[in-house]
Chain A
C-alpha cells in the first residue's frame, strides 16, 4: 500500500513537471489574463454607466445584480479558454507519454490505467485552477472598487466553470487515448464541442426532446451556473460524463489488451453511463444561490404553490423560436419546475419560428389545467403565469412582501487599474514565472 501511495506521489510529481514544461499550459495561463480583462473591463464599464457614471441616468435598482452584470461576462472567458485552450493542454499531457514511449514504461507498473489517468486529471485540474487566478483577481479588483460580493453565487459560477473544465479534461483524455496522434485527438475534441453547439442550435429550432438534451450540454450547464442555479441532475450528469471520459481513456491506454476487448468494454461503459444519465434526468432538486433569487418565485408565492399537490398541466401554443416562449420558459416554467414536481408542460406549434402561425386559432394561448379545471392566459411573465395557476387552483394570490424585493447594488465606478493589471502585469508575471519554473524544474 505504501509503495502504491509512493508511486502515485511520484506520478503526481512527474505529471506536474510535465505540465509545467508544457508550452500549451503556459499559453493558457498567459492568455487567461487578457481574456478575463477584456470581459471584466467591459462589464464594469457597462455596469457603471447603467449605474449613472458620466451623468447618465441611473437604471432601476433591481437590475443591478453583480452576478449577471459582472460575474457572468467575466467568467465567460473561462468558457472560451475551456473550449479552445484547455483541450490542447490535456491532449498534450495524455498523448505526450504515448508519443515519447513513456507510456510503455509507466504501464509496466501495477497501478491501474485509471489511477494513472486520475493523477493526470488532478494535475490538469490544478493547472486549470492556477489559470483561475485571473478571474479571482477580477473579484479582488471589484471588491477594491467598493463592489458587493455575494459569496454563494460567486462560488456557484466558479464551481460551474470548474465542472466544465472537468468535462473538457475528460473529453481531451478520452480522445487523446483513442487517437494515435495528438492532432487527430484535437480534431475529435473540437468536433465534440462543435457537436454540442449544433445540438443547441437544433434545440432552438426544433424544441422537444432536443431541448431536453441541449439542457445538458456544457454551454447550457455553464449558463445555469452563471445564473446562480445549481441543478442536482446537471451536476450528477456532468460528474458521470467526466468519470465516463476518464474511464474510456483508461480503457484505451491499456495497450496490452486486445482491440476487441477494449471495444467491448467501451460499449459496456457507454451503456452503463447512458443508463445512469437517464436515471439522473429524473432528479429534480436544485438550489438557487443567486442573491436576487432570479431562478425562484418570491418566497410567499413558492409557499402558496407548494400547497398544490395535484398534477398541473400547462399547454403552451408557442413555437420554439418565438421570443414569448423563451420569456415564459425563463421567467415562469423553469421556476415552476423547481418547486412543482407534478408539472407537465406541453408545447404545441406547427412551425419552429411561429411567424406564420400568428393568425392560427389558439396560437399564443397558454392553458393551465388542474383538477379538471382550465384557465387560459396569453401573458408570458412570471406574474402572468402565477395569476393563471392561482386562478385554476382557486387560490388567493399571496400579498407582496416589500422586504423580499431585491434592491440591487448599483456601482458607478470605472474599471480603474484593471487594464494594466490584465494586459501588462499578468502576462509579464506569468511569462516570468514560466521561465523561472521551467529553469528550476530542468
Chain B
C-alpha cells in the first residue's frame, strides 16, 4: 500500500471520569519523523494505542487521501511499538528477530543493519526476559524497524538508553525515515525530540496544544505569549 499521509481527527478516550484524550487531531506526512511531545500522563501512550487499534477509543477518525481508514486496514498501515514490555521472555533475541520477519513478513534487509547499529550482536542468544531495560528497548526498536507497515509508532524509543545510545538510535531513526518510512515517536524528553523530529505534536492533558515544525510551534507560542524562542522546551512550556 502506498502511504500518502494520514489525517487524524477527533480522537477521544475516557477512562471512567478521567478524560485521557479530547478531540485530538493532527497530520502525519509521508517520510517524516513526527514527535509526540508531552509530560507524563499527557495521554501519549493512550493516543498511540487508540491509533494502533489495541485500545478502543470513544471517538476518532483516520483518513488517507480523504477516505476513512477502516479499523481492519490500520494493521497494514501502522505498527505500534509499546514501551515497557518484555515480549516472549523465554525466547532468544535472535529468535524474536526471526519471528518478526516470519510472522509479520518483516523487512529482512533491515535486520543485519539493525543488529549492528543497535549493538545487538552480543545479545542474540540471550533470552529476552534476562535483558536489562535498555537492552530490551534496543531489541524492541529492531523489531519495530523490521516491521513492514509504512508508519511506525514508537512509544518512548529513547527511554532506558544512555546518551551515546540515544544519539546513535536518533541518527538511525533519521536514516530509516530518509528511506521513506514514517516515524511517529512519543517522547517526554523534549531535548531528545528536538534532536530527531521534523515536526511536533504537543500534547498536554489529552489535548493538542500545537502542531508543526519548530518554527511553526515557536510562532504559535509567540502569538500566544508574546515571547519569541527557538528552544523547544521554552515553546512547550509556553504552549502547555
Contacts and interface: CB of A to CB of B under 8 A. Distances in A.
Contacts of B102: 6-7, 9-10
Contacts of A17: 90-91, 95
Interface string A256-280: 1111010000000000000000000
Contacts of B99: 10, 13-14
Nearest to B71: A256
Nearest to B143: A105
Given A10-B102, A106-B103, A442 B71 contact: no
Contact of A255 (B54, B72, B90, B125): B54
B88 A100 contact: yes
Contact of B103 (A7, A104, A259, A441): A7
Which range contains the number of A residues in contact with the other chain?
20 to 34
Interface stretch (B27-35, B76-84, B107-115): B76-84
Contacts of A441: 91
B103 A18 contact: no
A277 to B, nearest CB: 31
A21 B92 CA distance: 12
Contacts of B84: 101
Contact of A101 (B76, B87, B91): B87
Interface in B44-91: 49, 52-56, 71-72, 75-76, 78-82, 84-91
B105 interface: yes
Interface stretch (A107-115, A336-344, A347-355, A393-401): A107-115
A442 B87 contact: no
A3 interface: yes
B90 A21 contact: yes
Contacts of A100: 85-89
A104 B50 CA distance: 12
B127 interface: yes
A108 B54 contact: yes
A11 interface: yes
Contacts of A10: 99, 102-103
B82 A101 contact: yes
Interface string B106-140: 00000000000000000001010000000000000
Interface in A82-106: 97, 100-102, 104-106
Contacts of A3: 105
Interface string A1-42: 001001101110110011001100000000000000000000
Interface of B: 49, 52-56, 71-72, 75-76, 78-82, 84-92, 95, 99, 102-105, 125, 127, 143
Interface of A: 3, 6-7, 9-11, 13-14, 17-18, 21-22, 97, 100-102, 104-110, 255-259, 261, 441-442
14 contacts: A10-B102, A17-B91, A17-B95, A100-B86, A100-B87, A104-B54, A106-B103, A108-B54, A108-B78, A255-B54, A256-B53, A258-B56, A442-B92, A442-B127
| Closest 10 A/B residue pairs (Cβ) | A101-B85, A102-B87, A21-B90, A10-B102, A258-B56, A256-B53, A10-B103, A104-B54, A100-B87, A101-B87
